[in-house]
Structure 1
Amino acid sequence: MEPGSTRPGISLRALAPNAVTAVALCTGLSGAWFALQGRWENAVAAIVVAGVLDAMDGRIARMLKGESRFGAELDSLSDVIAFGATPALIIYMWVMQDMPRFGWTISVFFVLCAALRLARFNARIDTEHQPHKSAGFNTGVPSPPGAGLALLPMIIWFETGAEWVRDYRFIAPWLLIVAVLMISNVATYSWSSLKVRPSFRFMAIAAVGLFGATLVAAPWVALIAASVVYALLIPLSMISYSKVKRARKAAAIAA
């Protein structure tokens, strides 16, 4: 090869984010393996670790300028498995298998909604007109938070031992609600749409530090708090997007 010519092959810069995505997929799927052994806490922990890795891979890709269409497709497949199929299997083995007739149907419906959400995302990836995305919002509940909300009753059971959360009559409608939220057109907050006023920045940093300390000392309490806060933010995000939508409409009329 001549001096100064480009060496063939794929750079590590492009492989790194895809490798993180692959690890997230394998870690999330391992949750089903733990569930088969009745190791429920390990099963949920595997989903949590997969969620952390899923949050990292996109940022690593942007930081290394290693984004690719292949990476986007792999990320979607990973999300369907780690945050769609695996949580549904865990919940089914934990409770839903005791539900007469419709336990498996509802579990499969959750997986279907996760797949439909990601298919919609991929179909729109090159679309210029995306009102929610351009305003910094997500359309519907993303798959990782959706998996967290689906597993919330199990996490409450870990911490409190309350048997009412381990009743399929409660779990079934809860799972259906979360599944519908994933494929809905509801505007939900993304990281870019969450703004902190300068006067509250130290309180925000302190709150994050408190969450980190709680995550170490009482991880299930921290995860319950995070899931509840996210659920409470959904109606607030709808209100915020409505304000953005009205402001855009007013600007268009004025123009």
Structure 2
Amino acid sequence: MATLFPPFDPQRPRTKRRLRFRHLPIRTVLPNVVTLLALCSGLTAIRMAIEGRYELAIAAIALAAVLDGIDGRVARLLKSTSKFGAELDSLTDFVNFGVAPAVILYTWTLDELRSAGWIVVLVFAIAAALRLARFNVMLEDPSRPAWQSNFFIGVPSPAGAIVVLLPIYLGLVGVDLGGTGLGERAGAIVVALYTLLIGFLMVSRVPTFSGKRFGMRIRRDLILPLFVLVVLVVALFVSFPFEMLAVGSVLYLACLPLGWRAWEKHVAADLAAKRTEAIDEAEASAPGP
């Protein structure tokens, strides 16, 4: 009797002999389990938004972002990276950081704009999909300089999902975005323009720090102060979660020019190195006196 769920490997030649189940080590499955947990968290955020429980919706998006940062590191640590895991991660990111934040914003205030609000939702979700597709293509580019691995091109989708929810953070701490006197519709217009701005930053060519190498090496004299800082930040997040998310979002947007400046310095260094190399080659090939 043929197996009910035969294994599939597109790179393995098909044979007529019956396929048998293979025992897989748990380390190959664990990263995908973390990714699926992140997907469940993103879908739960959509449900919480529909029910009007925005605090829990934001918590679910934040949890999905944390799990998204963990699954890749777990896969590399366990040496269990795979093409299947990479594809699953991309699809999960689209739902968690493209669809879920847009739906949350729509149920929060964009529904005041009716069809225009829904168009904003579509634009943001499409921007997230394009951002992820471009990221996957750029990973396969062998001609990229090594220093470019320290940068993202455009705002990454997890950061975009956290930052785009800034109007909700402000609303939960009592800041009225419709302070022009026009009421909720004015606030919805402000949120719509802000959402379009974040979507544009996601698909733009603006370089941003990736943070992949952050914290890989720590000076010994900074370990204890770092412990104190981590405890302080965690305590502030527990006590003032939405205030901290609002401050963090504003600081992230304010730091975007720093990433651009660092990128331009690397580009200038590469151009200078190429000019020097070209001059050296020209002098070496020039005929002697």
TM-score normalised by structure 1 residue count: 0.90
Q: Which residue of 1 aligns with 2:18?
A: none
Q: Does the residue aligned with 1:138 lie in a helix, a strand or coil?
A: strand
Q: Which residue of 2 aligns with 1:106?
A: 120
State the Cα deviation string for residues 117-139 of structure 1 (Å, max 9, x = none): 11112223321123586351011
Distance in 2, matches of 1:188 and 1:238, equals 7
Shift of 1:199: 10
Shift of 1:194: 5.0
Larger radius of gyration: 2
Q: CA RMSD in A?
A: 2.3
- Indicate if the aligned counterparts of 1:135 and 1:193 stay in contact, CA closer than 8 A: no
Q: Does the residue aligned with 1:191 lie in a helix, a strand or coil?
A: coil
Q: Which residue of 1 aligns with 2:272?
A: 250
Unpaired segments of 5 or more residues in structure 1?
1-6
- Indicate if the aligned counterparts of 2:167 and 2:177 stay in contact, CA closer than 8 A: no
Shift of 1:198: 5.6
Q: Which residue of 1 aligns with 2:95?
A: 81
Tell me: CA distance 1:208–1:198, structure 2 relative to 1, closer, same or farther (3 Å). same
Distance in 2, matches of 1:132 and 1:184, equals 21
State yes or no: 1:182 paired with 2:202. Answer: yes
State yes or no: 1:13 paired with 2:11. Answer: no
Unpaired segments of 5 or more residues in structure 2?
1-20, 278-289
Structure 1 stretch 234-243 or stretch 216-225: which is displaced more? 216-225
| 1:138-217 mapped onto 2 (5 Å cutoff) | 138-164=152-178, 167-192=187-212, 194=214, 201=222, 206-217=228-239
TM-score normalised by structure 2 residue count: 0.80
Tell me: CA distance 1:193–1:235, structure 2 relative to 1, closer, same or farther (3 Å). farther
Percent pairwise identity: 37
Q: Which residue of 2 aligns with 1:51?
A: 65
Q: 1:34 aligns with which of 48, 67, 90?
A: 48
State the Cα deviation string for residues 42-90 of structure 1 (Å, max 9, x = none): 1111101101111100110111011111111111100000110011011
How many residues of Structure 1 are paired with residues of Structure 2 in the alignment?
Answer: 249
- Point out the structure with the larger helix share: 1
- Indicate if the aligned counterparts of 1:80 and 1:115 stay in contact, CA closer than 8 A: yes
| 1:64-75 mapped onto 2 (5 Å cutoff) | 64-75=78-89
- Indicate if the aligned counterparts of 1:137 and 1:193 stay in contact, CA closer than 8 A: no
